[in-house]
Copies of this chain bind each other. A is one copy, B any other.
Amino acid sequence: MTADAELWRELGQQLRVDSIRCSAVPKSGHPTSSMSAADLMAVLIAKYLRYDFDEPKNPANDHLIFSKGHASPLLYSVFKACGAITDDELLTFRKFGSRLEGHPTPEIPWVDVATGSLGQGLPIGVGVALAGKKLEQLPYHVWVLCGDSELAEGSMWEAFEHAAFYGLDNLIAILDINRLGQRGQTMHGWDLASYVRRIEAYGWNAIEIDGHDVDAIDRAYEEALTPNGRPTAVVARTLKGKGVNAVENKDGWHGKALDNPEEAIKELGGERKLVIDVAKPEQAKPRTFDSGALELPTYALGSEVATRKAYGDALLAIGEARGDVVALDGEVSNSTYADEFAKQLPERYFEMYIAEQQLLAAAVGLQVRGWKPFGSTFAAFLSRAYDFIRMAAISRANLRLCGSHAGVSIGEDGPSQMALEDLAAFRAVHGSTVLYPSDANQTAKLVDAMADLDGISFIRTTRAATPVIYGPEEEFPVGGAKVVRDGDDVTIVGAGITLHEALKAAATLADDGVSARVIDLYSVKPVDVETLRESAEGTHGRIVTVEDHWPEGGIGETVLSAFADADERPRVTILAVRELPGSGKPAELLAAAGIDAEHIARAARQLVEAEAVAR
């Protein structure tokens, strides 16, 4: 045995022992899923990883992503072995207040993204690798430890597909094929050839090894680092719970601390105190792109422009002004208008094809590297990536998302293409911002604001051309609302397409002697509580809300929430889409849903009359 191999084996045992030790304290966690991959990580950190633990933001650092986030005991044991955390801290695993949570999050400086929802680490790794290869032209590598259970997730195969398509030979997937899932054997067990066959069919280099043979691991990593235009998968046969007879390759030990940790540690040869001086990367500077002065597009008052078009125009302008802005789209860029960016700034545009999960994951990976991604598709299809959006919030990711073709107002395409739940879904994302412009100048301002927002921001755009009602000089702070028409009998709150219906309704109502105030709730979250409360007070506590969205979790409930604990709570009529729409002309569908000008005017009139009766 070489000295290297001896060290690697000892290190692997240490990682196992520490995985057991840290899980033993809270009596929970996933030690057996950690033990299977310990040798794979030992060889990696001892010889291949290039990482400066003192400077996690060093742009030349490799990236190590645990797609199988539940193997956090192993990851934290790796951090200890690399001298990044103390043994004392390791033993705070899963304790309230500890940054060593049950699954990794970027609360830890050496963790790029939160994992734990399986099938996300590899597609995110694709984004990080894309940044290195296509944008920064840096030689770092992205190492992603994957489980075998998560290979059932389609998102993993989106990642295999995209990584090969983009020639990401800086990406190495380490597949820990330990055969056992949570409740029994995986679909393919130890049939490694079945994985190799698939992965090679996608155009990757696949290397099948015994994941406990450190020399084989060494050779595989060596080969993986040979650039050949193709990503590499190291497909490793491993034993779950390796090294401890009570649990090794035994069912029923997923996600459980060991019954007898002390005996297990003894069986593994006891505690070690190896500290690895992980090789630092050579200094290198990422390629950057020029920045310039921002010239936002402007639109003439009274002209008709779709907010989706304004999104595309503004995205291009912002991209030209800021070298750190990148864009992605899910093969609908000629509908979302992201194609303007794609055509003018092709080096910073990534076509994700119809793979919304990979789209989101790539955006998360790009922002790991400090880029400012804007991702777009039909708002309805962002629902395909909802778990990725949820997890991105836990990753503290800064993402800008645009969903076009919202609501019944898209017309003939029918309900499969209509986002009617997106406001609810995005509002229920931690720390999110939800914007819904009604006008092209407003859209441009909001898209510009998004570039500097933290967290997940979402902008909902409309298919149809709508009148430009704001001058290009107006400002639209996030968290604000605009009173677009004054009145004192009733407040009508709309946004996007329905704002225009609300304005039409207000005109009709004026003819009937009803004075309606109209509020443009372009910032759905955060919402402008003050303007809403003032307006309610100024209109006898009467509000009609109208939205091209289901009634649940959208504009109506947002408005209600602004008054939940207020001293004066208005009477609110919520107009929303309540029946499943079909196809038809936009005007027909708005009318059928009861959210057009006529229905708004009727609701406002009823409210004024009902309140009159009530008093």
Contacts and interface: CB of A to CB of B under 8 A. Distances in A.
A: interface residue count bin:
35 or more
Contact of A394 (B187, B333, B415, B589): B415
B354 A118 contact: yes
Contact of A105 (B98, B197, B390, B414): B414
A413 B158 CA distance: 27
Contacts of A198: 198, 201-202
A412 B94 contact: yes
Contact of A569 (B156, B415, B569): B569
A97 interface: yes
A353 interface: yes
Contacts of A588: 96
A391 interface: yes
A149 interface: yes
Contacts of A116: 413-414, 416-417
A412 B556 contact: no
B412 A391 contact: no
Contacts of A358: 154
A161 interface: yes
Interface stretch (A237-245, A260-268, A290-298, A545-553): A545-553
Given A355-B154, A416-B114, A331 B181 contact: yes
A169 interface: no
A355 B561 contact: no
A383 B394 contact: no
Contacts of A386: 383-384, 386-387, 425
A375 interface: no
Interface stretch (A135-143, A216-224, A486-494, A572-580): A572-580
Given A335-B182, A354-B119, A425-B425, A573 B583 contact: no
A479 interface: no
A573 to B, nearest CB: 6
Contacts of A421: 390, 425, 428-429
A420 interface: yes
A561 B551 contact: yes
Given A149-B331, A158-B154, A381-B387, A412 B102 contact: yes
Contact of A153 (B28, B197, B354): B354
A552 to B, nearest CB: 4
B353 A107 contact: no
Contact of A380 (B29, B156, B194, B390): B390
Contacts of A158: 152-154
A565 interface: yes
A561 B564 CA distance: 10
A93 to B, nearest CB: 8
A490 to B, nearest CB: 13
Interface centre among A101, A391, A563 (most CB of B within 10 A): A101
A150 B355 CA distance: 8
Contacts of A98: 582-583
B331 A182 contact: yes
A41 B453 CA distance: 50
A198 to B, nearest CB: 5
A568 B210 CA distance: 70
Contact of A96 (B331, B339, B561, B584): B584
Interface in A78-132: 94-99, 101-103, 105, 107, 114-119
A614 interface: yes
B152 A155 contact: no
A153 B358 CA distance: 9
Given A157-B154, A383-B386, A564 B553 contact: no
A553 B549 CA distance: 13
A153 to B, nearest CB: 6
22 contacts: A98-B583, A103-B415, A116-B417, A117-B380, A117-B417, A152-B355, A153-B355, A157-B157, A181-B331, A181-B354, A198-B198, A198-B202, A200-B201, A384-B387, A386-B386, A421-B425, A424-B424, A424-B425, A427-B552, A427-B553, A431-B580, A557-B560
A-B CB proximity, top 5 nearest: A154-B154, A116-B416, A96-B584, A553-B553, A424-B428
Interface of A: 26, 28-29, 69, 94-99, 101-103, 105, 107, 114-119, 149-150, 152-158, 161, 165, 181-183, 186-187, 194, 197-198, 200-203, 331-335, 339, 353-358, 380-381, 383-384, 386-387, 390-391, 393-394, 412-417, 420-421, 424-425, 427-431, 525, 550-554, 556-557, 560-561, 563-567, 569-574, 580, 582-585, 588-589, 592, 614
Given A391-B416, A424-B424, 20 more contacts: A96-B582, A98-B582, A101-B583, A102-B417, A105-B416, A149-B354, A152-B353, A154-B158, A181-B354, A183-B333, A198-B198, A384-B387, A424-B427, A427-B553, A428-B554, A429-B550, A560-B564, A563-B569, A564-B572, A566-B571
